[in-house]
Amino acid sequence: MADKPTVAVHKFASCDGCQLAFLNLGANLLPLAERIDLVHFAEAGPVNLDARVDIAFVEGSISTPEDLQRIRRIRASTGYLVSIGACATTGGIQALRNGAHSAEWLRQIYASPEYIHSLATSTPIAEHVKVDFELWGCPVTGRQIVAAVNALLLGVAPRDDADKVCMECKRRNTVCVLVAKGEACMGPVTRNGCGALCPSFGRDCYACYGPAENPATDALARRFKGLGLMPEDIARRFLFINNQAPAFYAAGHKARGTGHD
């Protein structure tokens, strides 16, 4: 088909885990490839950074001045832009540096810090350009990728699954680790997508899929306090992989008492 939709997969500051969601599809990637024209995906082979495409998937956060320029070029040449994963949607693990003195860190770590061209903060894609849809997760799954592509090929908006991890635990008949074991589980405020993977193995959710719809962060913080967690420990539960998500950012700083109510 000469009129197949063109697709690109771009990488910014990240670990490549969300791009691997494509490759981990294995044999299921073949029928998907027959329906689209994959014109740029360096990890899989084709490289054409400046190609005009119908759909672009973007992994990673904006962490360097070059990133800023490149994401603007991508946005200008893309019809529908999808950010994928915690780094692209909230800045990711590298956003932990946002409250630190990055220039001082560089001087302590590198012999010639003047050669390091890095922004002081790690920020999500949507802070710089219009994002048409966000896929949350660390990493996202092949199921999420296929669902988004299928929806777009049908001409409809992808579905945002903002249900809570707790609902998935109930559907799977998984014992609640917060109630039964007193674990500081983030499931009550975290969106589903992982299939409640951690609770199904008896450990607490650590919020890798970001905040769910209407997260009751105050109530969960009070529950954590009741379990004996100190304010800084509560803050760290929120200020982790998705620390720049507004709901988690506010909850974490409120727990620390730093004025972000």
How much is the average pLDDT of 203-216? 96
Provide φ and ψ at 16, rounded to 5°. 80, 0
One domain, residues 139 and 216: no
In which band, very low, low, confident or very high, does the pLDDT at 3 lie, cut at 50, 70 and 90? confident
In a shared domain, residues 13 and 123: yes
Residues 121 and 199 in one domain: no
Residue 158 belongs to a domain: no
Which tokens belong to 37?
């024209």
Residue 91: CATH number of its domain: 3.40.50.700
pLDDT at 1 over 80: no
Total H helices, total E strands in the chain: 12, 5
Question: In this model, does residue 261 exceed pLDDT 60?
Answer: no
Residue 173: predicted pLDDT: 95
Co-location of 115 and 181 in the same domain: no
Q: 74 with 52, same domain?
A: yes
The total domain count for the chain is 2
Last residue of a domain, one of 120, 153, 186: 153
**3-state helix, strand and coil shares in percent for the chain, rounded to the nearest 5:** 45, 15, 45
Classify burial at 227, counting beta carbons within 10 Å of its beta carbon; exposed 0-12, middle 13-18, buried 19 or more.
middle
Averaged pLDDT, 189-197: 94
| pLDDT value of residue 259 | 57
Paired with 108 in beta bridges are none
| Last-in-domain residue among 153, 184, 206 | 153
Same domain, 40 and 149: yes
b or e along 32-64 (b: 16 or more beta carbons within 10 Å of the residue's beta carbon)? beeebbbbbbeeeeeeeeebebbbbbbbbbbbb
Across the range 242-256, mean pLDDT stands at: 96
Task: Kindly state whether residue 118 falls inside one of the protein's structural domains.
Answer: yes
Over residues 119-128, the mean pLDDT reads 94
Domain co-membership, 215 together with 135: no
Mean pLDDT on 204-215: 96
Amino acid at residue number 163: D
159 within a domain of the structure (yes/no): no
For residue 141, pLDDT beyond 50: yes
Q: Alpha helix locations (H) across the chain?
A: 20-23, 29-35, 65-76, 86-90, 102-109, 142-153, 165-171, 177-181, 197-200, 217-226, 231-238, 246-256
**Same-domain check for residues 32 and 78:** yes
Domain-located, residue 160: no
User: Quick check: is 207 in a domain?
Assistant: yes
pLDDT of residue 2: 52
193 belongs to a structural domain:
yes
Last residue of a domain, one of 153, 187, 211: 153
Mark whether 184 and 73 lie in a shared domain. Answer: no
Range of lowest pLDDT (7-11, 211-215, 243-247, 256-260): 256-260
Q: Are residues 94 and 117 in the same domain?
A: yes
- Going across the sheet that includes 78-84, the strands are 37-41, 6-11, 53-59, 78-84, 133-135
Q: What is the mean pLDDT of the chain?
A: 93
Q: Tell me the residue range of the domain where 178 lies.
A: 165-256
Q: How confident is the model over 43-65, as pLDDT tens digits? A: 888 999 999 999 999 999 999 99
Residues 148 and 217 in one domain: no
| Selected residue with higher pLDDT from 15 and 258 | 15
In a domain, 248, yes or no: yes
pLDDT at 95 over 80: yes
